[in-house]
Structure 1
Amino acid sequence: MKRAEQRMEDTWDLSDLYRDLETWEAAFAEVKVLAKNFKAYSGRLYEAPETLYEAIQAKERAERMLSNVITYARLKHDEDTKNATYQSLTSRVEALGSEYGEMTAFYAPELMAGDFVKIESFMDRYPPLAAYRFYFESLFRSKPHIRSEEIEHLLAQTEEMASGASNAYGMLLNADMTYEDAVDSEGNAHPITNGSYIPLMMNEDRELRKDAFTKYYANYEAHINTFAALLQTEVKKNIFYAKARGFKSAREAALFDNHIPVTVPDALIEAVHGKLDSFYDYMKLRKEVLGYDALHLYDIYNPIVESVDFKVTYEEAQKMTLGALKPLGEAYGEVVENAYQTRWIDVYENEGKRSGAYSWGTYDSRPYILLNHKDNLDSMFTLIHEMGHSMHSYLTHQTQPFVYGHYSIFLAEVASTTNEALLNDYLMKTIDNEGRKKYIVNHYLEQFRGTIFRQTMFAEFERDIHATVEAGGALTAEYLCSHYLELNRKYFGPDVVIDEAIQYEWARIPHFYYDFYVYQYATGFSAAIALSDRILNDGETAVNAYLDFLKSGASDSPIPILRRAGADMETEVPVQEALNRFAEVVKTFDKLVKNS
C-alpha cells in the first residue's frame, strides 16, 4: 500500500508540531536566529544570577524549537523513507543541529570554568534558579569530561558527519533492501519486508518459515561487507567521542549520563548466563511439543500451541489494552482513549515506511506512536508497549518543567514493559478458552525470550565488538558473523540447530546504532515484573508510587527514581526474580501442555 492510500484516521496528526511545510520552514529559520542571539551571552554567564537565568531561558527556547523542527522532519521521513522531500528535510535538520551546536558550544565550557559554589550562591540570591539545582549538579558532575570552548566547537562540527553510518544503515535497511517472495507449502507467494518477516516466522507453515528465513538472510549475506563497514564506523565513532571526553571506554561514556555503572549490564549478562539452563529447558520443551526431530531457528517464533485462532484487529487491540490498563486508574485510561481517538498513532505499514515501532514526540507535542500493525497478538503487545512510552512522556511533560521534561533511557523500557505485564495478566483473567490461555502463557515465555535472553545476548555482542576495537581489533564481516554465531550457540543450547544463516542477523538489528541501549530492555523488563506485581497486588499505594515514577522525568537520577517506585536496580533482586519467574513459568507450561 502506498502512503497516499492510507485512511486519514489510521495516520498520525502532526499538526501539534506544524500544520504544513511553510510553518516548518519559518520555525527552521527562527532556530538559527535564536541560536545566533544566544551567542550574546558568551562571556556573561557569571555576570549576575539574573543573566545566567536569562541565558538558560534563551537556550531552552531555542532547544524546544530545534526539537520540534527535528522531530517533525524525522517523523515525516519515517512515513515514507523513499520520499525525496522528506529525505531533504532530515539532511537539513542534521546540518541545523550541527550549526546550533557550534553556536552554543561556549555554554558548557564557560559554565564549567566556574565553581559550583558560585552557582549555589546564585541560586540563594535568585530563587528562580533554584529549580535548576539538579540540572546544575548533573552538569558539574560532567565537568571532567567537558573540553575547552575550541574543542567543544570542533566536536560540535563533527555531529552531522557522525550520524553518517546510522543514516546510511537506515536507508539501506528500509529503502534499498528488497527480498524475493517466500513460498509456502502450497506454492503461494508471500512478500518479505522488514515489517512482515517476524509475522512470517510466526506462521504455522514450517516450509514458509524456512523459505522466508533463508531468503531473508540471503539478502543480508549479499550486503554483509557493507553492513560490517557501517557498524565498524559506528563503533569507532562511539570510541572516538569517549576518548575525546576522557572516558575509559565507549560503554562507560554511554552509561555516564544516567549514573549507571558498567557493573549493571555486566551483572545482567552474568545473571542470565547463570540461568541459561532454564532457557535450554524451554527450547527442549518447544522441540517436544512441536514434535520435531530437530528444532531450527526458524522454529522459535511460531506458537507451540496448535490450532489457536487468535486474530486481533487494531480496533480489538484498542479495547483490550484499555481494559488491561484499568488498574492504573481512570485518569490514565482517559488519556489513552483520547490518544486512540485523536490520531497519536500511525498504524499500518506502507511502502517506504520505517520498519518496527516507536514512541516519539517533543515537550510541546503529543507523544506520537509509529506502528506497523498486523492483526495478531504480538502487534497488540507492541501497541500497549509503545503506549507505555507515550504515557511516560505525556505525564512527564504535564508535570515537569522543560529542563526535566524527558527521562533517561535506563527508565524508558520500564513503563512500556509494565504495560505489557498488565496486558498479560488481563488476558489470562478474561479469556476462557483454554487453548488461548496456553497461547498467552506461550507468549509470556516469548516475552522473556525476546526481552531478557535475546536482548542480553545483543548486549553481550555490543560489549564485545566495542572491546575488540578498543583493543586494536577490526570488525570484519568474518569476525562479526563468527562471533554472533557463537553467541547464538551459547544462548540457545543443545536442543536447537543453529542454522548458519543466523550469523547475518546482527546486520538487521538497528539498536546496534543506539550506543549501548539494548541491555536496558532486559533491566527494564525485570523492573516491570516487580512493579506490575505491586500494582496488581498492593492497590492504590503501589499505583500512586508508579504514577509518581511516570511523572518524575529527569528530576533525579534513574536509580533512586525507580527505587521509590519499588524496584532497586542496584541490587540483583529484580533480575534474579524475573529469571526465577521464567523458570517457574516454563515448568507450569510444561505441565499445562502435557496434561491437555
Structure 2
Amino acid sequence: MDKENKKELGLGKSAALPERAGIPEEYKWRLEDIYPTQEKWEEEFSALKARLPELAEFRGTLARSTARVKELFKLRDELSITLEKLFVYANMRSHEDTADSKRQGPANRISALSVEFAAASSYVTPELLSMPKERLEEFSKAPELSEYSFGLRELLRRREHVLSEAEEMIIARAGDMAGAAENAFSMLTNADMAFPAIKDEKGKRVEMSEERAVAYLRSRRRAVRKAAFESLYSPFCAMKNTLGATFDGMLKGAKFYAACRKYASPLAEALDADDIPLSVYDNLIDTIEKNLAPMYRYMELRRRALRVRELQMFDLYVPLVADPFKDIAWSDAKKMMFRFLAPLGEEYVAQTRRGLAEGWVDVFPNRGKRSGAYSWGSYATHPYIFMNYTNNLNDVMTLVHEMGHSMHSYYSHKSQPYATAGYCIFTAEVASTTNEVLFLSGLLAETKERRRRLYLLNRRLENIRTTVYRQTMFAAFEREAHERAAKGGDTTPEGLKELWYALNRKYYGGGVVINEQLKMEWARIPHFYTPFYVYQYSTGFSAATALARGILERGEPAAKKYLSFLTKGGSDHPIELLKGAGVDMSTPAPVEAVVREFEETLDEMEALI
C-alpha cells in the first residue's frame, strides 16, 4: 500500500482497522454496477418472486414441441440470471460489513427465494426424462435448441441415474438428514473445540484457534512450532470417537446416494457428474506414488536447511528462508501482475487493467469485513474480486489467483450463452493456477539475489508439495476409506488412524517422524465431507503447470489455445476442453510434467543452499 494511503486508511501495524466509510472509493468494488440502490434491488426481488408461478404453466406440456421446450428454457434462464444477480449483490454487500445486521436480511431472503425457485423448476428434469429416449434425442439435435444441446445430451448420458419424480423428491428431502454428519463436524470443529494456549516467540501466552495454530506452524522457533502442533491436534485426539462417528456418517451417506442412483461406488458417482473417467483419478495416484523419490529428497533438504537431527511433521510448513518480500504497495502489486501475465497477450492484460480501474476489486480490510478472498459475480455482471490486501507477496499472489478466476468468467460469459457459460471446479482451478504459475515463473526469471531466489524456489516446492503431493495423498485416503465402507472394512477411528499413518509414511519417507498426534489429521479435513473433491486441486495444478510451461516455451500459439479454452465455459466435458487447450488429463503426462518441475526446482535449491 502506498505510504499516503496507509496513513489515510489507518492501516499501520498498530492501528485499528478503519470503518467501511473511511475506505476511499477507488479501493472499493462498484456494486452500484449491479443495482444503483438497495431500493432497486428490492424492486427486482419483488418482481422475480411474483414471476415464479410462470414456471408451473409449462408443467406436463414439454413433450409437445421443441418450441415449447425452448420457451420454458428461455424463461428459466431469464429468471435464473436475475436470481443470481440478486444473490450476488446481497451477499457481497453483507461481506463488506458482517457486523451490520441490516445487510444480512437481504442475503437471507434471497437464499430462501433460491429454494423456492429450485422447487418451482424441479419438475423439468424428471419430465424431460419421462419422454421416450428417441424424443429427447430429437430435442438434443434440434437447431432451435442448439444452445441447450450439451445439457440435453448430458441428460441422456446420465439418464439411468436419474430417478422418477417421486423418488427424486424423496432423495431431495433426505438431504437435510444426509448433511447432519457434516453439520455436526462443522459445529464441533468451528464452535465447540478448545485449543490449549501456547507461548509465542517472546514467551507470551497466547490463546489458540485452529487458524492461529496453523499460522504458528510457520514460526522460526521450533519450540513454538511444536507447541502449536500439539495444541492443534490435542482436541482432535481427545474427540476421536465423536469425529469417527461424523466421518462414518459421511461414508454411509455417500454409499446410500451412490446405491440409490445406481452407481458402482461413490467415486463413480462423483466423477460422472463431469464425465471424468475413473482412470484419471487412478492415474493421478499411481503417477505420484511412482514419483515419491523427489519428495524424499526435499524432506532431506528441509532437514539439513533447518539444521535438525530428525525432521518432524511440525517442521514441514516453516519457510526455509525468511520472507524477503516486504511492504509491497497495492500499486506495485498491480504492476507486478501486469508484468508477469504478459505472456497471455496484450488483450488479456489490458482487460485486467480495465477491471481494476472499473471497480472489480474490493481491496483493503475494514472493520467487520469478512476474512479471506474470492472471485464472484454473475452472468449479468462483470466479475468481482474480494480481498483483504495487507502488503505481502501472499496477497499479491491471491490477487493473481482470483484474477485468473475472474478472467475465466469474463471470457466465458462474453462468449457463451447462459446455458453453457458456467464451468466446473475441474477447469476452474486451472485458470487461477495458470496465472499463479506464470506469475511465480516471471518473478523467478527476474530475481537474481540469492536469498530472494531461494525463498521463491522454496515457495514453488511448497506449492507442489501441498497442492499436488499432499492432495493426492488425500485422494488415496478417500479412495481406500470409501472402499472399506463398501466392503465392510475397518473404518473405525483406529483403522483410519493407521491408514493415515501408512500413507504419510509412504508419501514423506522414512526420514520424517510421523508424530502420534498426526494420525488424527484425517479428522480435521473438511473437504472429505464433499467426497472426491480434493483430487481436483492436484489435477488442476498439474494441468496449469503444463499449460503455463507451454505458454512460456511456445509463446503466442500456446497462449491463443489457452485463451480459447477460457471462452468455452462449460460447453463440453472438462477433459475435452483441456485437450483443446493443449493438455490431456486422461494421460499421466501432465502429472509427470509437474513432478519434473518439482525436481528441477529442487536441483537448483540444493545447489544454492
Name the residue aligned to 1:405: 421
1:313 pairs with 2:328:
yes
Output the CA distance in 2 between the equivalents of 1:373 and 1:193: 22
Output the CA distance in 2 between the equivalents of 1:423 and 1:344: 20
1:314-336 superposed Cα distances (whole Å, 9 cap, x missing partner): 61433322221111122222332
- Give the 3 Å change call, closer, same or farther, for CA 381–503 of structure 1 in structure 2: farther
1:144-163 equivalent positions in 2, closer than 5 A: 144-159=160-175, 162-163=178-179
Tell me, yes or no, if the aligned pair for 1:174 and 1:353 is still in contact at 8 Å: no
Name the residue aligned to 1:38: 55
Give the CA deviation at 1:165. 4.6
1:488-567 equivalent positions in 2, closer than 5 A: 488-567=504-583
Give aligned pairs, total: 591
Structure 2 unaligned segments of length 5 or more: list them: 1-15
Give the CA deviation at 1:580. 2.5
1:384-395 equivalent positions in 2, closer than 5 A: 384-395=400-411
Name the residue aligned to 2:319: 303
Higher mean Cα deviation, 326-335 or 337-346? 337-346
After TM superposition, the score normalised by the length of structure 2 is 0.87
- Give the 3 Å change call, closer, same or farther, for CA 420–20 of structure 1 in structure 2: same
1:361-408 superposed Cα distances (whole Å, 9 cap, x missing partner): 322234333445554433333332222122112211111110011112
Name the residue aligned to 1:109: 126
Tell me, yes or no, if the aligned pair for 2:583 and 2:590 is still in contact at 8 Å: yes
Give the CA deviation at 1:17. 4.9
1:464 pairs with 2:480:
yes
Tell me, yes or no, if the aligned pair for 1:13 and 1:343 is still in contact at 8 Å: yes
1:274-332 superposed Cα distances (whole Å, 9 cap, x missing partner): 11121011101110122111212221122213x55222536143332222111112222
Task: Return the letter of the residue paired with 1:383.
Answer: L
Tell me, yes or no, if the aligned pair for 1:94 and 1:160 is still in contact at 8 Å: no
Task: Return the letter of the residue paired with 2:273.
Answer: D
- Give the 3 Å change call, closer, same or farther, for CA 467–490 of structure 1 in structure 2: same
Higher mean Cα deviation, 554-563 or 504-513? 504-513
1:196-241 superposed Cα distances (whole Å, 9 cap, x missing partner): 5544333323233222222233344455555444444344333333
Higher mean Cα deviation, 48-57 or 166-175? 166-175
1:405-484 equivalent positions in 2, closer than 5 A: 405-472=421-488, 476-484=492-500
Higher mean Cα deviation, 261-270 or 374-383? 374-383
- Give the 3 Å change call, closer, same or farther, for CA 112–477 of structure 1 in structure 2: same
Tell me, yes or no, if the aligned pair for 2:312 and 2:513 is still in contact at 8 Å: yes
Output the CA distance in 1 between the equivalents of 2:506 and 2:206: 32
Task: Return the letter of the residue paired with 1:250.
Answer: P
Tell me, yes or no, if the aligned pair for 2:214 and 2:232 is still in contact at 8 Å: no
Higher mean Cα deviation, 441-450 or 343-352? 343-352
1:62-108 superposed Cα distances (whole Å, 9 cap, x missing partner): 32233344445555666677877777766665554444333222211
State the SS of the aligned residue for 2:148. Answer: helix
Tell me, yes or no, if the aligned pair for 1:195 and 1:372 is still in contact at 8 Å: no
Output the CA distance in 1 between the equivalents of 2:581 and 2:244: 41
- Give the 3 Å change call, closer, same or farther, for CA 19–168 of structure 1 in structure 2: farther
Output the CA distance in 2 between the equivalents of 1:69 and 1:82: 21
Give the CA deviation at 1:433. 1.5
- Give the 3 Å change call, closer, same or farther, for CA 102–469 of structure 1 in structure 2: farther
Give the CA deviation at 1:505. 3.1
Output the CA distance in 1 between the equivalents of 2:174 and 2:271: 21
Name the residue aligned to 2:199: 183
Task: Return the letter of the residue paired with 2:447.
Answer: I
- Give the 3 Å change call, closer, same or farther, for CA 532–34 of structure 1 in structure 2: same
Name the residue aligned to 1:274: 290
Higher mean Cα deviation, 314-323 or 343-352? 343-352
- Give the 3 Å change call, closer, same or farther, for CA 111–517 of structure 1 in structure 2: same
State the SS of the aligned residue for 2:385. Answer: strand
- Give the 3 Å change call, closer, same or farther, for CA 458–121 of structure 1 in structure 2: closer
Higher mean Cα deviation, 22-31 or 241-250? 22-31
Output the CA distance in 2 between the equivalents of 1:26 and 1:169: 39
Name the residue aligned to 2:67: 50
Tell me, yes or no, if the aligned pair for 1:145 and 1:245 is still in contact at 8 Å: yes
Tell me, yes or no, if the aligned pair for 2:360 and 2:382 is still in contact at 8 Å: yes
Over the matched positions of the two proteins, sequence identity in percent amounts to: 39
Give the CA deviation at 1:478. 4.1
- Give the 3 Å change call, closer, same or farther, for CA 409–268 of structure 1 in structure 2: same
Output the CA distance in 2 between the equivalents of 1:91 and 1:143: 34
State the SS of the aligned residue for 1:567. Answer: coil
The correspondence for 1:290, drawn from 279, 282, 306, is 306
Tell me, yes or no, if the aligned pair for 1:105 and 1:152 is still in contact at 8 Å: no
Output the CA distance in 1 between the equivalents of 2:51 and 2:170: 21
Give the CA deviation at 1:527. 1.2
State the SS of the aligned residue for 1:588. Answer: helix
Name the residue aligned to 1:377: 393
1:41-440 equivalent positions in 2, closer than 5 A: 41-72=58-89, 75=92, 95-115=112-132, 117-119=134-136, 121-122=138-139, 127-159=143-175, 162-166=178-182, 169-170=185-186, 173=189, 179=195, 182-188=198-204, 192-193=208-209, 195-221=211-237, 224-305=240-321, 309-313=324-328, 315=330, 316-347=332-363, 357-371=373-387, 373=389, 375-440=391-456
Tell me, yes or no, if the aligned pair for 1:314 and 1:380 is still in contact at 8 Å: no
- Give the 3 Å change call, closer, same or farther, for CA 21–215 of structure 1 in structure 2: farther
1:226-261 superposed Cα distances (whole Å, 9 cap, x missing partner): 544444434433333322221111111111121101
State the SS of the aligned residue for 1:114. Answer: coil
Name the residue aligned to 2:10: none
Give the CA deviation at 1:122. 4.9
Structure 1 unaligned segments of length 5 or more: list them: none
